[in-house]
Amino acid sequence: MPSDMAETSRKNASGGSPMSKLFAYGDKRYFSAIVGLVLAILVLPPLLFLVTGAVTVTEPGGAWHFSLHRFPAIINQRGFLQSLANSFIFALGSAVFALVLGGVMAWLVERTNTPLKPLAYLTTIISMGTPYVLYVSAWLLLLAKSGPINSWYRQFTGTTDLLINVYGLGGMILIEGLLWSPLVFLLLGATLRNFNPELEEAARMSGAGPFATIRRITLRLSLPSILALAMLVFIRAIEAFEVPALVGLPGRVHVLTTDIYDTMHLSMPPDLGSASALSCMLLVLVSALLYFYGRLTRNAERFATITGKNFKPAQLDLGVWRYPAAALLVINFVLLLVLPLIILIWASMLPFYQSFSWAAFARITPDNYKNVLNSSRYIALLTNTFIIALVTATCVMLIASFTAWLSVRKAPGAAMLDQLATTPLVFPGIVLGVGVMQLFLTVPVGVYGTIWIIVWAFCINYMPYGVRYSFAGMLQVHRELEEAAAVSGASSVTGFRRVVIPLLSPSLIAGWLFIFLLATRVLSLPVLLSGPSSQTMAVAMFDLWGNGQGPELAALGLLWSLAMTCIALIFYFIARRSGVGLQGQG
C-alpha cells in the first residue's frame, strides 16, 4: 500500500511543470549532471591550465609548442634539492612537534581528571580567529634579535650572542608546530573522547600500571588516528606559505612554496612557465602524500573500540599528579596565547617597535589604533575580506549541500561528484593560485585583479571542507523522511528544500562559519591573486610586516582578531550542538 501511494505521488509530480518532471522523486540523474558540471567547471580548468603552462612554450609570434625542458632545468637548478630537503625537514619537524604538544594536551583534557581544562578550549577557539600572519609576526617580535627574550638574555649574560635565532629551520619548525597544535588537540581529542575505557580497565585489572596501559592499549589502538593526523599535518606543512615566507626567506631558508613565490615575483614579467612547472612537481608530491594518507585511514575500522554495547567514558585519576598536569595546560595556554597577545599589545602601543624598557613605557600611545580606525584604506580592506569570505562560504556550502545529498543518496554519478569535490585537496594554496592565475590570464572574463578571482580560488580550495561538513550532517538524515515527503506529492527538490535543508542547517551553518574563518586568515592565495584594490586583511598584514610597520600591524591584527574570535565562538557552540564536531566529523 505505501508503495502504491508513493507511485501515485510520483505520477502526480510528473504531471506538473517541466521542472517537476525534470526533478521527479527518484530521478536525480539530471540534477547530478548539473552539479557535476558546476564542479567540473570550477575545479578542472585551473589544473588544466597549470599543466598546459608547464609543458608548453609560447613563441614571440604567438605560436606554441610542447616542451618538458622546464622540469630538468628546475631539478638541475642550484638550490632546488636544498629546498626540497628543507621542505621535508620543516614538515617532519612541525608534524612531530605539533603532534607531541597537541597530543599531550588532548590526552590530559579527554582522558584524565586534570583541572583547568577550559584553558585548552579557550586557546583553540582564539587561535581559530587569529590570522596566520599575525600569529607568526607575534612570535617573530618575541624571538627576534631585538625581542625581549634575546634582549634579556644579553643583559643577564653580558654576551652579544643570541639565545634563539628564529630565522632558521628550527624557528620555522617551532612556529609552524605551535600553529598546528590546536588542530591536533581538536582531532586527537575527538578520538580519545570516544575511546572505550573497558579495554584500559581490563589492562589495569591484569596488573598493568597507568603508563603501561597508555603505551600498550591507548596508544596502540589510537595509532591509525595518530599516524593519519601526523601525515595530515606533514602535508599541510609541505604546503605552508606564511611561516616559510615570514621566517624562512629572511634567514635564506628556502622551501618549495617560497621558490614558487620567488619565481613569480623576482622576474618581470613573472615567469609563469617555470612557476607552473615547479607547482606541478609540488602537486605530484602532495598527491603522493595524500595517497598514503588515504591508505592510513582506509583500514581504521580494524582498530575500532566503539561497538553497539553502551559505555561511559572514564577518566584516569592522576592523584597528586593532577597539579603538574594542570601546570602543563597553563604553560600551553601561556605559550600559545598569552605571550603572543602580550607582545602584540605592547607593540601596538608604540610608535616604533622596541623591547620592554622603562624608556619605552614613556612612548606608549594609542595612535596606531586611531590610524587603523580612521583609515579609509582599512575600511576598504575589511569590506573586501568580508565580501570574499561571505560569498565564498555561501557558494561552497550551497554546492557542497547538493553534492553531499546526491552522494549519500547514491544518485547516478555520486562517485564522480565526490571525486570532483575532493580533488582540490591535492592543491597547495600557492599552486592553486598559479593555476587560477594562468586560467584568468588566458580566458578574458575581466575578473583578474578583482576580489572575484580570489572568491573563485577560495571556492575551489575550501570545497572539500564544505562537503565534509555537509556529508557528516547528511548521514544523520534518514531517507524515510524524504520518502514521506514524496508520498505527500513533493518532488525531489521540494523534499530537499523543505525537509533535508532544515535538518541539515546546523551542519551547514557550522561549515559556513568554518570556511568564513579560513577565508579571512589565509595568505597564500590572495598574495598571488589580489590587485591594488582587491587586497585582503591577510595581504595587508603581510605588506605591513614587510614594510617594517610592526606596531600598526599589531593594532590592526588585534582589532581584527577580536572580531574573528567572536565568530569563532559562535562556530564552536554551533559545531558542538550540531553533532558534526569542529572539523566536520560526525
Per-residue pLDDT tens digits for 129-177: 888 899 999 999 998 888 888 888 888 887 878 888 899 999 999 999 9
Which DSSP string do the residues of 274-311 spell out, in sequence order?
HHHHHHHHHHHHHHHHHHHHHHHHHTGGGG----SS--
- Note the pLDDT of residue 93: 95
- Note the pLDDT of residue 77: 83
16-45: pLDDT as tens digits? 444 444 444 445 777 888 899 999 999 999
181-203: pLDDT as tens digits? 988 888 787 777 766 666 666 76
CA distance to 14, 22, 29, 499, per residue, from 11 (Å): 5, 13, 18, 21
Most confident residue range from 73-82, 245-254, 566-575? 245-254
The yes-or-no verdict on residue 13 having pLDDT over 60 is no
From 8-12, 51-55, 367-371, 414-418, the region with the lowest mean pLDDT: 8-12
pLDDT band at 333 (very low <50, low <70, confident <90, very high): very high
pLDDT band at 505 (very low <50, low <70, confident <90, very high): confident
552 within 8 A of 371, measured Cβ to Cβ: yes
The yes-or-no verdict on residue 385 having pLDDT over 50 is yes
- Note the pLDDT of residue 178: 93
Q: Which residues contact 118 (CB under 8 A, 6 or more apart)?
A: none
> Among candidates 250, 228, 130, which has minimal Cα distance to 546?
250
Q: What is the mean pLDDT of residues 269-280?
A: 84
- Note the pLDDT of residue 62: 63
> Among candidates 501, 4, 414, which has minimal Cα distance to 492?
501
The yes-or-no verdict on residue 14 having pLDDT over 60 is no
Please give, one letter per residue, the 3-state secondary structure of 2-17: HHHHHHHHHHHHHCCC
CA angle 569, 575, 580 (to 5 degrees): 160
What mean pLDDT value characterizes the chain? Answer: 82
508-555: pLDDT as tens digits? 888 888 899 889 988 888 998 998 889 999 999 999 998 889 899 999
Task: Quote the CA–CA distance of 230 and 215 in Å, as a whole number.
Answer: 18
238 within 8 A of 91, measured Cβ to Cβ: yes
- Note the pLDDT of residue 314: 63
- Note the pLDDT of residue 579: 54
Which class for 33: exposed (0-12), middle (13-18), buried (19 or more C-beta within 10 A)? middle
CA angle 20, 1, 490 (to 5 degrees): 20
Domains and CATH numbers, the chain: 1-68+371-586 (1.10.3720.10), 80-365 (1.10.3720.10)
